[in-house]
Structure 1
Amino acid sequence: MSAAGPKVFADQPDPRTLVASETLYEGRIWNVVSDTFSLTGDAEDVLVRDYIAHPGAVAVVAMDDHGRILLLKQYRQPVRMSLWEIPAGLLDVEGEDFVVAAARELAEEADLAAGRWDVLVDFFNSPGSSSEAIRIYLARDLTEVPEADLHTRTDEEAEIEHLWVDLDDAVQAVMAGRLHNPSAVAGVLAAAEASRRGFEALRPADAPWPEHPSQRHRPAPAAGTGQ
């Protein structure tokens, strides 16, 4: 890399030699995988990393005509907290279009439909321990889902509380350390920057998402090795 920096300032695909791969645990939603791989291409010089093989997720910043965004309060057992979040859900329906999945989550968790969709931001939730990729959309031109079509929420979702928040207030909550959900934090800050730019730099809803697990080619282990 030159002193002037890389020619393209972007994360790049960089697959390394996969020597072996084993599924250690099969769960209802995600698995735990152990990969043996080589950084140098030398099959004798290997590293082993265990991680969550995740189907990915979508999330939605729903913004009304007054510039307010919708936050949801939901209990999360792993952190033993009720968190203010944005509508989100797993991409666990094989072959489902990403925007269709986001619209489904918006309807199920927020009782809303949107007439306009744009991509706000893409990110890896925890790339050192999970393959999870998340895409956050900005949803506008909102309407309420007809009562006959409302989704019946169960389990933790049955406790969901809805709150419309001014975007500036949501940013202040993030910066003050009052919001902790990663999709909410990333979505709020991205929405604020998009608003500052007059929403002119947003990618279309159908913009490519090559970082999602379904769009990435996972190489097979080298011949004669792995599982």
Structure 2
Amino acid sequence: MPDVMHEFETVSTELVYDGPIFAVRKDKVTMPGGGTANRDVVEHDGAVAVVAMNPDGAIAMVNQYRHPMGRRMLEIPAGLLDHSGAETPCAAAQRELAEETGLGARDWHVLVDLAPSPGFTDEVVRVFLATDLRYCHIADYQEDEELDMTLEWVQMPDAVQMVLSGEIVNSTSVSAILAATMVMDDDAPLRSAEAPWPCRPTAFAARKGRPVE
């Protein structure tokens, strides 16, 4: 093992693509052997997801079409953070839950923070646990794939079994279901809904000149 850890410095960067949802840049980074290597990075605003659990231990999941995968997938409600930067992460999660399921909740906590693919993107997802559920108005502006989305209630043991059998493969849903199971079994402490989020991505927002709430 080296006595001193290598400092990976970016010596140059090139913007490859700048879109409305993400950007792609190519960084030249110093390597431990003395040379440099190119690293493609997808900049992303980040996202939120929700494990909405009823008193019987069932969670709300949505079945929706995912075009890159070419099929419908069972997932927990989730979506992008608001591009304007005006929403807190918890407010974004509340909005997504209402839009996708017609549900609201009185109790909110941070369940887990996830970096789904840190090898090529700075995207981080904050997952909330929502309890004491209630029905509310579904937004009238659902569009595209959302119009085909269906709500399914899945008991937590069944959800875990679907994860282990490969029926549920969305990485955020897999991690959230297993984390929620630990909370149910061990009554583990949870962070507040407004807990600091130090690993929240900021590069894409800075590129667009937008604030981060």
TM over 0.5, yes or no? Answer: yes
Tell me which residue corresponds to 2:93: 102
SS of residue paired to 1:201: coil
Provide the C-alpha distance between the structure 1 equivalents of 2:164 and 2:120, rounded to a whole number of angstroms: 26
SS of residue paired to 1:16: coil
User: Please, which of 145, 148, 156 is the counterpart of residue 145 of structure 2?
Assistant: 156
User: Please, which of 50, 54, 71 is the counterpart of residue 64 of structure 1?
Assistant: 54
Q: Is the 8 A contact 1:119 1:135 kept in 2?
A: yes
| Offset of residue 150 of structure 1 | 3.4
SS of residue paired to 1:165: strand
Tell me which residue corresponds to 1:206: 194
Tell me which residue corresponds to 2:35: 45
Tell me which residue corresponds to 1:11: none
Tell me which residue corresponds to 2:211: none
Q: Is the 8 A contact 1:209 1:215 kept in 2?
A: no
Provide the C-alpha distance between the structure 2 equivalents of 1:78 and 1:106, rounded to a whole number of angstroms: 23
Q: For the pair shown, which has the larger CA radius of gyration, 1 or 2?
A: 1
| Offset of residue 93 of structure 1 | 2.3
Provide the C-alpha distance between the structure 2 equivalents of 1:27 and 1:214, rounded to a whole number of angstroms: 15
User: Please, which of 54, 59, 75 is the counterpart of residue 85 of structure 1?
Assistant: 75
Q: Is the 8 A contact 2:63 2:74 kept in 1?
A: yes
| Offset of residue 151 of structure 1 | 3.5
Alignment of 1:74-223 (within 5 A): 74-95=64-85, 96-146=87-137, 150-198=139-187, 200-214=188-202
Provide the C-alpha distance between the structure 1 equivalents of 2:82 and 2:28, rounded to a whole number of angstroms: 26
Structure 1 unaligned spans of 5+: 2-13, 219-227
| Offset of residue 119 of structure 1 | 1.0
Provide the C-alpha distance between the structure 2 equivalents of 1:119 and 1:61, rounded to a whole number of angstroms: 10
| Offset of residue 202 of structure 1 | 1.2
Superposed CA RMSD: 2.2
Tell me which residue corresponds to 1:16: 8
Q: Is the 8 A contact 1:107 1:151 kept in 2?
A: no
Structure 2 unaligned spans of 5+: 207-213
Tell me the TM-score normalised to structure 1 length: 0.82
- The 3 A distance-change label for structure 1 pair 78 and 164 is same
| Offset of residue 113 of structure 1 | 0.9
| Offset of residue 28 of structure 1 | 2.4
Identical counterparts, % of pairs: 41
- The 3 A distance-change label for structure 1 pair 160 and 15 is farther
- The 3 A distance-change label for structure 1 pair 192 and 23 is same
| Offset of residue 51 of structure 1 | 2.1
- The 3 A distance-change label for structure 1 pair 215 and 168 is farther
Q: Number of matched residues?
A: 200
SS of residue paired to 1:126: coil
Provide the C-alpha distance between the structure 2 equivalents of 1:32 and 1:104, rounded to a whole number of angstroms: 28
Q: Is the 8 A contact 2:82 2:92 kept in 1?
A: no
